[in-house]
Each structure stands twice: as C-alpha cells, then as structure tokens.
A and B are shown apart, each in its own frame.
Chain A
Amino acid sequence: MSRPAKGIPEPRRRHLGLAAAAGSDTARGTRHGDGRDAFALAWADAVVGTSYVSMSRTEVEEHLRGLTDRLAEALFTEPFTADAARQVGAAMVGAHFTGTETLNRTIALVADELPLRLGLDRSTPWRLSALQGALAAGYAEALRQRTLDEQEAISQAVFVARDQAEQALRVSEARFRAVFAEAAIGMGIADMDGNILDANASLLDMFGYSLEELTRRNVRDFMHAEDAASVWRLYDELVSGQRDHFRVEKRFERSDGEVIWTHLTASLIRDDEGRPTYQVAMIEDVTDRHLLQDRLRYQALHDPLTGLPNRALFLERLAEAFDSAAEEDRIGLCYLDLDGFKVINDSLGHDVGDQLLVAVGQRLDACVSAPGRLVARIGGDEFIILMERSSSTRDVVAIADHVLAALEAPIRVREHELSISASIGLVERSIVGTTPADVMRDADITLYWAKADGKAKWALFDPERNAREVARFTLSTTMPAAIERGEFYLDYQPLVRLCDGQVVGAEALVRWHHPEFGLLAPDRFIGLAEETGQIVPLGRWVLRQACHQARLWQDRFGSRAPFISVNLAVRQSRDPGLVADVAKILADTGVEATRLQLELTESAIMGTADEPLDALRALSAMGVRIAIDDFGTGYSNLAYLRHLPVHELKIAGSFVEGLRASASDGSHVVDARIVGTLVSLAHALGLGVTAEGVETADQARRLDDIGCDSGQGWYYARPGPPERIDHILSDVR
C-alpha cells in the first residue's frame, strides 16, 4: 500500500525538505526533493515488516530518506562511483534491516522506482546496475560481519557464562571439598568393589595411615575379628544396592595395632540413573566414650572395696552360664559368710573390718581363681564362688575345704592378728531342671544350715531337708488362714473306767486336713505352731470346739455324759489370757467346769516360773480338772507333785506297753511294779490315774488289778469322730 507524497503531514514535509536541502546541488535537490521523498516512502512501504528495526514507521521513512539521498548522490556524482551504495547497504544492516526479503525488495525497488523517481537518464542503466551490485555487496558484507560479530558475541557470552558457572562450581566444589577435608568426622569414599578412593584428614588421623596407604586397601581389609556378624551383612546389603545406608558401632584396628571404637555410618551414592556408584563412610571415633562406658560398666559390676565382681556381675555370669550351658552341664555355688565378722567390725571398727574383707577377698581369689570360676562379693561379709561346668559335688566340697583351710591362717590387719572362719553353703547340680534363682535360693538356705551347724563348717544342699523345711514353712504361714477356713477338726478318743468299762471322758485330738499335704497328725504342726505362736489361737479354737462337743454330750447324755480332756501346750499354759479364755469358752458353751480336763506335760507344769502355776490354780479353783500327760517320761519331782493343782496323772504308754510283754521276759514284772507304785503314789496324793496306750484286754485287766482308775487306747477305741462316742454311750444304754 503506497501513500501519496501530498498525504505527508506538514511538519514532516518540512523536515524532508530540510533533508533535501542538505544535498550538494540545491537547485537540483529541490527539483528532485519530492522524487526522493516519494522513493523513500515507497521503499519504506516495501520493507516494513521484513526486518525488525527499532524504529517507528516515521523513523523508518526518515532513515530511508537519508539513504535515498546517498543513493542519489552516488548516481549523479561525476565521476561515477558506486561506493556510496555500498555504504547504504551497510547502513541498512546497521539499522538492523537484516531480513533477506528487505534486500530483495530494496534491489527490486532501486531498479523499478529509482530512475523514475529521480528522473534518471535511461541512457546510463549501467550506473543503476553498478549501484544495485554495490548496495547488495555492501549489505552482504555488513550482514556477514554482523553475523560473525553476533556469533562471536554470543560465543563470548557463553564462554563468560560457562566460566562463571565453572568458577561457581569450583567455589562450590571447594566448599564441598572443605567440608570433606576439614570435617572433624572421618570420611572415606570407596568404589562399589570396596577399593578406597579418598579419605579426609580426620580419617587418616584416626586410622594412622597415609592416604596412599589407605587407597591401596579395600574396605573389607578393615574387617575386625570381633565385629558383629550383622556389620558385614549390612555392608553386603549396601554394596549390592539393597539398602542405602546403615549405622553401626564397629571396632577398627589402627596402623599401630591399637583398637579404636567408632560409630560408622555407611551410605550408598547412586548416579542419575539410580545405579550404585560409590560408597561413603562417615566414621566417628568414640573410643574414649567407649572406654568410659567400659569403666562405668566395670564400676557398676565390681565391688569397690575388694575389687571383686559384685552381685550384679555374679548374677550376670550365672545367667550366662545357664544360657550357654549344654544339657549335660552341671553348676556349683559356694555361698560363704564370715563367722563373727560383726564382732570384729563392732569392736575394732569398720576400717579394720574393711581391711579384713579385702584380705579375705584376696585369699578367696587366690585359692579359687581359674577359668570358669568366679569369686564375687555379694554384700557385707558374704562372698560367693561360681563354678561353671562342675563335674560332681566333690568339686564344690573340695573348693569349700580349700577355702576353709585358706582362712585358717590368721589375717593381720594393722596390729591385729585376726582369726577368721567362714560358713559355706554348697549347691551342686545339673543345669537341667533348675534356674539361676533356684540355685541362689538353695545356696542361701544351705548357708543358713551351715551357720546353724556352727563355725567353719560347710553344708551341702539337701533337697529332702529343704522339702521338710519348706513344708514346715508352708504350714506355719498357712495356719492362720487354715483355722479360718475350717481345715482343722477334732477326733475324740474315749477314756474308759477300768472297773466297769464305762466311757467317762474323751480326749480331744486336733487334726489338720491340709489341702496340699492331706491329713496331718498333731506332731506335724503342733511343735511348729508353738514356735510361731500360732498355738495360742489354734488352742483356743480347739478348746472352744471341744467344749462345744462336751455341751452336746451333756445335753444328750446328762449325768452319763463324758468329760472332755483337752491338751494344753506349754506356750498356751503361759499365755496370760488363758484363764479368761477358758472361763469365757465355758460360759459361752454352757459346759460345767468340772466336765473339762486340761492335759499338760510334766515340763509345762514343773520347773517353770510361778505364773503358769497361778493360772492352773485359778483354773483348778474354777473346777477345771488338770491332768499331767505322759507322766513318767520327763523330770518328775514326785515330792513337788503334792503342791501342784493336779487331779489326774496319765501314765505314758511306754509303761503300759510292758504290761503286755510275755511272761518269759521278766521286764513286765518291773513295769507292773512301777505302774503299781505310780498308782499308789497318785492315790496317796488323791489323784486319779489314767493309763495311756492300752491295746489289749490283758493289759486292761492287769491295770485294773493294779488299781489304775482309767484306761485309754486302741483296745477301747482309736481316736475318731464324736459320733463314735455317741454310739458307745448309746449302746451301753
């Protein structure tokens, strides 16, 4: 689309006019000015949009108007030279008319329009061709130069950018390198075959190798004999790409052979495709920490005074011995305790006591120490010796004898020559079927036995003795609850008047129906109950129960009802509440006091202080009968007998037994005389006599002959439920 020259606005026309006036030939310039304007406009129309130039359309027109002038000058200047056209071509490129279509259209326009617009003589077409050629050449030359310049510039920019990037990379690498090199933690890099490629100063320092030495080695060279198996399993997983990192505690051997403890973190480095490429180890030397831990552990497991292993270490080793034992293995313990140590400690002071313990510890350690044996101080003056894999009980006995012998020589502490001995409890048995806790407990019990046996003795654990003691212990602890649970009951054995065979009384005998041990006779638990004091409540229960039964008989049989005879233990007889208890029970049950007989042993009545006698006198005053049980077996001060509040003597079964013997043996004659004397004596004192252990009719007859009042024994009836007495009494009626 062309635009007529007259359409150009006024200011621009003036401007163009000024530009035209700048031409060399003012007259011709003016004459040809409009033509040049028209050509410039046509030129602008032709090239606009073919190249990018940083000009408005108006500026493009102005620029091309200037170039038109130069083309015109070239065309008309004599002698003709096309150089100006060459410069025009270069100027076009300079203004960034760099599109090839721009050149195409320009060349065409010069041919088609320039002669017309400038009134060029058709006779000189060669000038036009030369002008076109020069313009094209100048354009091409400038464009080539511009292209080269720009390529040079952009390449230069690439170099600079790359250089900066590389420099930044170097800085970055230097930074990483510094992190690697200066890190306090040891770092090493190896390839996937384990060849060490690089290591930092910390690692070299830690291992005591130069980098050259280290890079000649393989990661696997650093396997330590005592490494946990898991360490190298984890390593194998790492180098096979199965895991990306692991962290372990591991020992390394330095170049000087010293062992260091480390925290090792190993990581896998993968390339962009995820393939394992390198392995990186970060190693922290924790040897000091480890030594401290070792020391702390040592302190935690050793007795600071003697330096011997302490209870904790002993128990640990004992548990280990059990864990690692084979089925046929045996184990032995010697648990020893110094005799009379407390006296030394109290009289000579703790310091001397401590020194003594140190010396004993040394002697024990010296005479026992061997592989598989451990001497530990368990606490106070107690030591223990562990024998792993003992072959038989003889081993521990030998050790015990050895220890007792080693302690025989006096121990000198300062100016004191101290003689010391020890009691030793021994346990030796097969590992199978026992536990560390079992052997410890049994050793403790056995030591107690040894102590009870006297000084400088050893005792060997005896399972039967232990079982008995355990049973006793169990009984004593379960007795109170057993009374409440009604595990006790009473059997009754008739007391029979010898002259006519009438049942006149019944002895109450306590039984314990134990849920675990079954039926227990009094000899299994009465002594125990006396020891523990349980006899008082148990006796009270028996008395109440017996009186209750007496009341039943009293109600049923009236004057024919048997009196009740209840055994009173020694401890009971000394119980201050005895009289009140008896009175209350009699009152509660409504039994007449004369229907109650209390049986005491000789030792309970005689050779004791006055208090029990006072109680017996009080009971006697109430009307309660007092019998001496098992008369003749203890120390019987017959002369004293008459001062006692006693109504009945029960002659021990051992005398009665003699009455049964055959006539060929003369002993029965002796026994008969003794019994006769006793009966006479008793009667002289106004006491009744009951014979115990009557087993035959012959015995019964002889006793009757002798004048004995009553009899008791299997001949009449064994102890049994109260109903049996009921039967006897009913039958008689």
Chain B
Amino acid sequence: MDRPTWAPAGVDMERPSAARVYDYWLGGSHNFAADRMLAEQALRLVPDMPEITRANRAFLRRAVRYCLDQGIRQFLDLGSGIPTVGNVHEVAQQVAPETRVVYVDSDPVAVAHSRALLEGNDLTGVVHADATRVDDVLGAPQARRLLDPDQPLAVLMVALLHFVPDSADPAGMIARYRAAGAHGSHLVISHGTDVTGPDMGRAAVKELYERSTTPLCLREPADVTALFAGYELVEPGVVYLPQWRPEETDRPEPNPERFGMLAGVGRTP
C-alpha cells in the first residue's frame, strides 16, 4: 500500500544508509554496524572505495571553489548526506563568508545531524526532502529564505544522480533546478560509471546497494554529458574525478578511470 505523502516514514537503523556508508569510507564515525557491514563488504569488492570517496570529496571542494571564483554566492547541495569535514559552507564561507548554502537530503538522520551541526549558522539551511521532488525542495521554507532566484545558483549533484533511475526523469528534474537560478547558474555533477576498468566488483557493489535504502544506477559518459543539457560544460568537460581541474600541486593520477566516477561542471549561458 502506498503511504500517503503526509504519513511519515519510520527511521530504520537496521538498513544501511548511503550517506553513512560514505561517511565510513571517508574515515568518519557517523555510522552504525549495518552501515559498516555494507561498507566493508563493498571494500572487499572495491578496495579503492575510500580513495574514490576522498577523490569525490576533493572534487566537490574544487568545484565549489571554482563556482566561488565565478562569483556564485548561493549553493544548493542535493543529497548532501552526513556533514563530514569540508562541507560546502565551510569551503565557501572560508572564501566568501556571505555565501548561502542549502543542504538537501532524504535521509532523516543525515538531516537531523546536519541541522544540529549548522545550528546558529543563519546562512545555511537544511531541507528534508527527496531531491527528485523539485517542488518540495524549492518550496521548502529554508530554500525560499536562502535562495534568491534572481542570483546565479550553483546546484550540486555530487554522487547523487547514480541514485536517480531514468524512470524518475533526472533530465526533467535538472531542467527544473536550472530554472531556479539566474543566468550564470552552475550545475556540478559527479556520477558513478561502469564502462571502464577491469574492476568486476562494481556490479557486485551495485547489487549491494540494492539492499540499502538507495539502489545504484550507473551511467555511461555520454549519458552523464547529456545530463548537462541546457548548460555549457566548462573545461575540461565531463572527465574522471581526478582529471577535473586538479590542483597544480596534486600528483598526476596515471589511471584516473579506476575511480569509476565522472565529473563535470556546467554553466547556463
């Protein structure tokens, strides 16, 4: 039976959550036995997982800095997860203290934790919503309070869209978020892909995710590029995670496809 939208979902600690598994791989302790069990199972299949998550986190940091350099001062972080070190507002407000950030997640625990962490920071807000329900997100009081539709907006979909199946119309969803900001808005995407690598464990990871609250939907590079419809891709386009505008002091990654994650940033013309 379908739950009516006004009837709440329960909080089930027995099922692993993608946000807490991610936190575990990043070395955090915001997780529970069920999360760690899934994380460790995944690690046996893809031992690089912590490195991949760190690289994803580093990409987020570089992308936010890039947007700040482009003059963006408001961010919408969809699927923000458990606030670990280097949150968007930390990175952004370090550079531009006036930057406003709205975090969005459907995981009630991640949301509760985010709220606790951000208490007192008036320039940030946390929305408990499913990112695919654009009206719920943009219509939330925190989003309406903090986001100015007349200013360019950076919409972050970092490690988010591989949890959004085609049946949920990610392109339509992106288009509606695109309309939420003024000219010069940005879209930041990192996305799991399965076309490369000898890494046969990925399918197994995908299967693992099926058991979590958030199943996995990997996409090919062309499909990820297509998600930027309506945006102009900034250099270097859609590339593997470490290849997107690395810091000059970063050691060059000889085998970037082993990360299995694509990244890109687009800008509305």
Q: Which residues of A contact B (CB under 8 A)?
A: 1, 48-49, 51-54, 56-58, 61, 96, 98-99, 146-147, 150-151, 153-154, 156-162, 164-165, 168-169, 171-172, 175
Contacts and interface: CB of A to CB of B under 8 A. Distances in A.
Interface of B: 6-11, 13, 20, 26-32, 50-51, 53-54, 57, 61, 82, 84-86, 90-91, 108-113, 115-117, 247, 249-251
Contacts of A161: 11, 108-109, 111-112
B116 A157 contact: yes
Given A96-B85, A165-B11, A154 B57 contact: no
14 contacts: A1-B251, A49-B51, A51-B27, A52-B27, A52-B54, A54-B86, A56-B250, A96-B27, A153-B30, A156-B116, A157-B110, A158-B13, A169-B8, A175-B6
Nearest to A44: B249
State the majority secondary structure of interface residues on A.
helix
Contact of B113 (A1, A54, A153, A164): A153
B82 A154 contact: yes
A157 B249 contact: no
Contacts of B117: 153
Given A49-B54, A169-B10, A172-B6, A154 B26 contact: no
Contact of B27 (A58, A98, A156): A98
A151 B26 CA distance: 15
B124 to A, nearest CB: 16
Given A54-B85, A54-B86, A96-B27, 11 more contacts: A52-B26, A52-B54, A52-B84, A54-B90, A58-B249, A98-B27, A146-B29, A154-B20, A156-B112, A169-B7, A169-B10
B146 to A, nearest CB: 21
Contact of B31 (A1, A154, A169): A154
Contact of A99 (B27, B53, B109, B115): B27
A58 B247 contact: yes
Report, nearest first, the 4 A-B pairs whose CB atoms are least far apart: A54-B86, A168-B8, A157-B113, A161-B108
Contacts of B250: 56-57
B81 to A, nearest CB: 12
Nearest to A56: B247
Contacts of B28: 98, 150
A1 B250 CA distance: 12
A51 B58 CA distance: 12
Contacts of B112: 156-161, 164
A156 B112 CA distance: 8
Contacts of A48: 251
Contact of A165 (B10, B26, B249): B10
A54 B85 CA distance: 6
Contacts of A159: 112
A147 B51 CA distance: 20
A55 to B, nearest CB: 8
Contact of B249 (A57, A99, A146): A57
A169 B6 CA distance: 9
A169 B116 CA distance: 22
Contacts of A175: 6
A156 B11 CA distance: 13
Contact of A157 (B7, B10, B109): B109
B189 to A, nearest CB: 20
Nearest to B8: A168
A162 B11 contact: yes
A150 B29 contact: yes
Contact of B109 (A53, A158, A172): A158
B57 to A, nearest CB: 6
B14 to A, nearest CB: 12
B61 A54 contact: yes
A98 B85 CA distance: 11
B29 A151 contact: yes
A280 to B, nearest CB: 14
Contacts of A147: 29
B250 to A, nearest CB: 5
Nearest to B86: A54
Nearest to A150: B29
Contacts of B249: 56-58, 61
Nearest to B90: A54
B11 A154 contact: no
A175 B251 CA distance: 59
A51 B84 CA distance: 13
A96 B90 CA distance: 14
B251 A154 contact: no
Contacts of B50: 52
A164 B84 CA distance: 22
B113 A154 contact: yes
A171 B85 CA distance: 35
A53 B247 contact: no
B108 A154 contact: no
Contacts of B13: 158
Contact of B30 (A53, A61, A150): A150
A274 to B, nearest CB: 11
B23 to A, nearest CB: 8
B91 A54 contact: yes
A158 to B, nearest CB: 5
A52 B57 contact: yes
B17 to A, nearest CB: 10
A154 B7 contact: no
A165 B8 contact: yes
Nearest to A45: B251
A52 B53 contact: yes
A147 B28 CA distance: 8
Given A161-B109, A161-B111, A165-B10, A154 B61 contact: no
A9 to B, nearest CB: 9
Contacts of B20: 154
B153 to A, nearest CB: 22
Contacts of A146: 29
Contacts of B86: 52-54, 96
Interface centre among B109, B115, B247 (most CB of A within 10 A): B109
Given A52-B57, A54-B61, A160 B116 contact: yes
A62 to B, nearest CB: 11
Contacts of B54: 49, 52
Contacts of B30: 150-151, 153-154, 157
A213 B51 CA distance: 68
Contacts of B27: 51-52, 96, 98-99
A58 B115 CA distance: 31
A49 B90 CA distance: 21
Contacts of B6: 172, 175
B116 to A, nearest CB: 6
Contacts of A61: 249
A42 to B, nearest CB: 14
A52 B26 CA distance: 6
Contacts of B91: 54
Contact of B108 (A99, A150, A165): A165
A143 to B, nearest CB: 9
Nearest to B87: A54
B266 to A, nearest CB: 23
A57 B112 CA distance: 32
A150 B24 CA distance: 11
Nearest to A60: B249
A164 B115 CA distance: 13
